[in-house]
Structure 1
Amino acid sequence: MVKNAKKIWLINPAAMPPDYEVRIQTLKRAQYLRYHGYDVTIIGGSFLHNLNKNLIESKSPFLIKEYEDNCNFIHIRNSNYSGNGLKRILSIIEFYLRLWWYAGVKKKFGKPDYISHLAAVPFGNLTYFIAKKLKSKFIVDVVDLWPESFLAYGLVREKNLFLKLAYSAEKWLYDRADLLIFSMEGGKDYIKEKGWSLEQGGTIDLKKVFYINNGVDLIDFDKNKSTFVLKDPHLDDENIFKVTYLGSIRLANNLMRLIEAAEHLKDHKDIKFLIFGDGEDRSKLENYCYSNNLNNVIFKQKWVELKYVPSILSRSSLNILNYKPSKLFRFGASQSKSFQYMASGKPICANVEMNYCPIKKYGLGISKDFKDSKSYADAILSFYEMDQNEYKTICENSRKAALHYDYKSLTEKFIDLLNKL
């Protein structure tokens, strides 16, 4: 550790230790901050959401642990839960109350120069009081537009009192940030759309608003691609055109649209749709494919270790981003897997229209809100029938685009912003 190194906390209640983590932004930012001489501690909850595992089985309020490569964690004890109901909300509240008490009031964890907090409105707003108490610079990372996403997906109505209160809490948090970083490129558009900027008579200075997206670690990706090869007969078959989806199978992913597109292509025996992932919609979709004899759709592993992802994507022919159309995409997108798709050097087909679209910007494939499943199927078929030189160019574009989202360079952007505080 560098003598008199600047100390920074990365607070993310969902952060997991290296052996378990799949959403790696926090881990990678910590890794490359350490590389540049920062003293980094990740603070996360003890309950590992997707694994139903709690790292603290005793009554201890927190656990301080160092993992390999000087990866320092403080796990704040929070209760187990399942789904997205009341127990999950109470578990999140529990995390922030204990964090506020032990980090801010009791000062058990020392004093950082910077606190970088993953926005979790309204419960995470307590983090501001910790930063104020410790006289730390306060950075707010926005990776999801909440509560805007509730409105966009029709979960609440625009005049809902809860929604209005949540917007007020969101603005309150953004006001108090020394630095406000959005993972979607249209963050400033969002602030202006709400009328919150100084220029509009609001209180948020757009000069403190920046954009750093999610990304991919290209060194790890390339190493894992050759080291951890998933054995799979379809991925190994060079005689089929592999259309691959990897990710959650839930409401927001709207995977039925992809299944309907596959149905139009079932007579193309050498086109196979490979689906890796799990979620509440998986069994329903499996039953649909079985009932309709869709033998061209093959459901694969429900859970794929992150180290096997490069092997899967790189052996695909076309990688799919599939979502429920949403007004949220007017601000851009920050899907972690899209950058792994780029690193694989294969074309991407997305069924949504988005602003600040890297697929269009860098020529990586197709991104379009298809009018129906036949149009979606035709787009997928266009890659199958594509001239090999054109296909090769798209593959090269994908890999080149990944260089813009390498976590090493993204962290350097983050450090540049720290230096300006």
Structure 2
Amino acid sequence: MRLLVVSQYFWPENFRINDLVADMAARGHEVTVLTGQPNYPSGRFFPGYGWTRPHIENYQGTRVVRVPLVPRGSAGAIRLALNYISFAFFGAVGVWLRLQGKFDAVFVFEVSPVTVGIPAIAAGRRFKAPVLFWVLDLWPESLTAAGAVKSPMVLRTVDRLVKWIYRNCARVLVQSRAFVPEIARHGVPDANILYFPSWGESLFQPFQQADATLLPPLPAGFTVLFAGNLGEAQDLPAVLRAAELLRDRADIHWLLVGDGRMAAWAKAEVQRRGLSQVHFLGRHPLESMPHFYAAADALLLPLKREHIFALTIPGKLQSYLACARPVLAMLDGEGAHIVEEAGAGLACPAGDADGLAAQVLRMAATPETERRAMGLNGRKYYEVHFDRTRLFDQLETWLEDAIQESKHSK
């Protein structure tokens, strides 16, 4: 199969599409990736990358074709809009000027923005190939949830764009079953909407003991760890409020691994409030994450109280479950349901700082054997519902079905 993957984000940025691309190439498929210059999450081009370089790279046997884009910068509304629009424009131009040969199918990785669909549709038309569009963020709902756009006219325009993109795709894949009605309202037939959840990369495995050489010094005591993007969606104000409520428990430590648009604000707030039990550990390679997880007593999963986030299965959840560590979830909807159904940890409603503080105290008082059992429950649930090999097998079948259907319709 000659597969074109269209994604605004790709290696060396840490996204699951990297893992999917490497696996498809390992299965013998000829994979090309159309992507931008890496700048997420810092908003600055990675070292060695920029407006003019590089154009072509190789990643684990795949050809990576890069187009220019405006970096995210501090992720303000105007800069983000330029970032999104520039990739859509240069990506569509790149479809015609930089892609060579033929492709049997186009696969789209859609975390925000949805505008990644524009170059993907252009590729589908140029190569007469079916487009499979994997929705991880719902638009325009994600815009309103983040508070980035409030103009009804802009939201209506985006809604029309989303409808155009979905209707030009052979299949629309969704990371949560709760997304199905939202996709269907755009006129996509139910038969063309497929449930395709995220997975944990193969490196996410249970470790009995973390490799201390891969970690910075960690405080002694009960540790609650979050690893990932420190952004608006993670509701850091509620997390810090919970930490403040437990400031008298000097044995409980909050470890934040990662970076993002709210990191500077959170660091300033921690200093202002004197929250010495909150530790910012910075960015670390993806390969070290399972060891961070193994070193923590519980893994934190917060999301803001928004309708769109209640529909979402946070991608972080699969990684947490795969590593067999107990989860402390402050979120609503699908994610909370999975934690509770799996018996993988404790949950409280989104935005409930008091509830999170109470659940942290409860988890800290839980015997280690019971916490270990929660982690094992999560791992078992992961193997049944989010197994990487099974999901990739299914995707391969869907791609082949769409290709055959496209050939018969010509």
Aligned to 2:41, the other structure's residue is in SS state helix
Q: Which residue of 1 aligns with 2:192?
A: 208
Q: Which residue of 2 aligns with 1:190?
A: 182
Counterparts in 2 of 1:313 and 1:168: CA distance versus 1, 3 Å: same
TM-superposed CA distance for 1:388, in Å, is 4.1
Counterparts in 2 of 1:223 and 1:9: CA distance versus 1, 3 Å: farther
Work out the CA distance in 1 between the residues paired with 2:30 and 2:172: 21
Counterparts in 2 of 1:94 and 1:268: CA distance versus 1, 3 Å: closer
Q: Which residue of 2 aligns with 1:3?
A: none
Match for residue 40 of structure 2 among 41, 49, 53: 49
Match for residue 141 of structure 1 among 113, 125, 134: 134
Work out the CA distance in 1 between the residues paired with 2:211 and 2:367: 31
CA RMSD of aligned residues (A): 2.7
TM-superposed CA distance for 1:40, in Å, is 0.9
Give the TM-score taking structure 2 as reference length. Answer: 0.87
Work out whether residues 228 and 307 of structure 1, in 8 Å CA contact, stay in contact via their aligned partners in 2. Answer: no
Counterparts in 2 of 1:229 and 1:345: CA distance versus 1, 3 Å: farther
Match for residue 296 of structure 2 among 294, 310, 316: 316
Aligned to 2:325, the other structure's residue is in SS state coil
Counterparts in 2 of 1:224 and 1:141: CA distance versus 1, 3 Å: farther
Counterparts in 2 of 1:420 and 1:390: CA distance versus 1, 3 Å: same
Counterparts in 2 of 1:58 and 1:162: CA distance versus 1, 3 Å: closer
Match for residue 303 of structure 1 among 283, 294, 297: 283
One-letter identity of the residue aligned with 1:276: V
Counterparts in 2 of 1:208 and 1:218: CA distance versus 1, 3 Å: same
Among all aligned residue pairs of Structure 1 and Structure 2, give the percentage whose two residues are the same amino acid. 19
Q: How does 1:41-190 map to 2 (within 5 A)?
A: 41-50=32-41, 52-53=44-45, 59=52, 63-67=55-59, 69-84=60-75, 85-104=77-96, 106=97, 108-119=99-110, 120-122=113-115, 124-157=117-150, 160-190=152-182
TM-superposed CA distance for 1:290, in Å, is 3.3
TM-superposed CA distance for 1:227, in Å, is 6.2
Work out the CA distance in 2 between the residues paired with 1:146 and 1:58: 28
One-letter identity of the residue aligned with 2:121: Y
Match for residue 265 of structure 1 among 238, 246, 271: 246
Aligned to 1:355, the other structure's residue is in SS state helix
Work out whether residues 28 and 407 of structure 1, in 8 Å CA contact, stay in contact via their aligned partners in 2. Answer: no
Q: How does 1:385-396 map to 2 (within 5 A)?
A: 385-396=365-376
Q: Which residue of 2 aligns with 1:285?
A: 266
Counterparts in 2 of 1:149 and 1:81: CA distance versus 1, 3 Å: closer
Work out the CA distance in 2 between the residues paired with 1:283 and 1:56: 24
Q: 1:46-88 deviations in whole A, cap 9, x for unaligned?
A: 243335226565757x722223x31321112234451334344
Counterparts in 2 of 1:204 and 1:222: CA distance versus 1, 3 Å: same
Q: Which moved more, 1:270-279 or 1:365-374?
A: 365-374
Asked if residue 233 in structure 1 is aligned to residue 217 in structure 2, the reply is: yes
Q: 1:290-314 deviations in whole A, cap 9, x for unaligned?
A: 34333322x2322111111111111
Counterparts in 2 of 1:234 and 1:66: CA distance versus 1, 3 Å: closer
Work out the CA distance in 1 between the residues paired with 2:3 and 2:49: 24
One-letter identity of the residue aligned with 1:46: Q
Counterparts in 2 of 1:420 and 1:253: CA distance versus 1, 3 Å: same
Counterparts in 2 of 1:244 and 1:172: CA distance versus 1, 3 Å: same
Asked if residue 349 in structure 1 is aligned to residue 307 in structure 2, the reply is: no
Q: Which residue of 1 aligns with 2:10?
A: 15
Give the TM-score taking structure 1 as reference length. Answer: 0.84
One-letter identity of the residue aligned with 2:5: L
Counterparts in 2 of 1:109 and 1:89: CA distance versus 1, 3 Å: farther
Aligned length: 395
One-letter identity of the residue aligned with 1:211: Y
Work out the CA distance in 2 between the residues paired with 1:178 and 1:82: 34
Q: 1:139-170 deviations in whole A, cap 9, x for unaligned?
A: 1111111211122344444x701101111111
Counterparts in 2 of 1:132 and 1:225: CA distance versus 1, 3 Å: farther
One-letter identity of the residue aligned with 1:147: P
Work out whether residues 102 and 109 of structure 1, in 8 Å CA contact, stay in contact via their aligned partners in 2. Answer: no
Work out the CA distance in 2 between the residues paired with 1:332 and 1:168: 22
Work out the CA distance in 2 between the residues paired with 1:321 and 1:99: 34
Q: Which residue of 2 aligns with 1:338?
A: 317
Note the residue ranges of structure 2 that are not aligned, 5 or more in a row.
403-410
Work out the CA distance in 2 between the residues paired with 1:56 and 1:293: 39
Counterparts in 2 of 1:327 and 1:58: CA distance versus 1, 3 Å: closer
One-letter identity of the residue aligned with 2:377: N
Work out the CA distance in 2 between the residues paired with 1:133 and 1:88: 28
Work out whether residues 224 and 310 of structure 1, in 8 Å CA contact, stay in contact via their aligned partners in 2. Answer: no
Aligned to 1:269, the other structure's residue is in SS state coil
TM-superposed CA distance for 1:384, in Å, is 1.1
TM-superposed CA distance for 1:230, in Å, is 2.8
Counterparts in 2 of 1:251 and 1:39: CA distance versus 1, 3 Å: same
Asked if residue 249 in structure 1 is aligned to residue 227 in structure 2, the reply is: no
Work out whether residues 96 and 127 of structure 1, in 8 Å CA contact, stay in contact via their aligned partners in 2. Answer: no
Asked if residue 325 in structure 1 is aligned to residue 305 in structure 2, the reply is: yes
